[in-house]
Amino acid sequence: MSNASDVTHEEIVALRAQRQADGDSLQGEERERQRTLHWMRCCKCGTQMDEIVFRGVRVDKCLRCGGIYLDDGELEQLVGKPGWIEALRSFFGS
């Protein structure tokens, strides 16, 4: 991780377009099958995730590997509140 370089905004824009196309290319039945298969499953270990309300924001957390999933906009809702980083650490730390 130490020699990894930050992704650029242009790379994100290009990746987003690619992923949108990937999703659009799936036919209805296959798309539904994928969604059912992966819904609320941890993207790292595949365990069912639990929804935890943290400071008024519903966060999906894997209690097996400790992974956290934030929906679009949820990170923005969490950061900036006083003491947010310490609160995250104590709440999500193992």
Return d(Cα 17, Cα 59) in angstroms, integer.
26
CA–CA gap between residue 68 and residue 73 (Å, rounded): 14
DSSP 8-state code for residue 1: -
- Can you tell me whether residue 34 is helix, strand or coil? helix
CB of 93 to Zn ion, least distance (A): 15
Helix count (H) and strand count (E) of the chain? 4, 3
Residues that bind Zn ion (CB under 5 A): 42, 44-45, 47, 62, 64-65, 67
Q: Between residues 41 and 57, which has the closer beta carbon with respect to Zn ion?
A: 41
The least distance separating Zn ion from the CB of residue 65, rounded to whole angstroms, comes to 3
Residue 13 or 45: which CB sits closer to Zn ion? 45
Q: Whole-number minimum distance, CB 62 to Zn ion, in Å?
A: 3
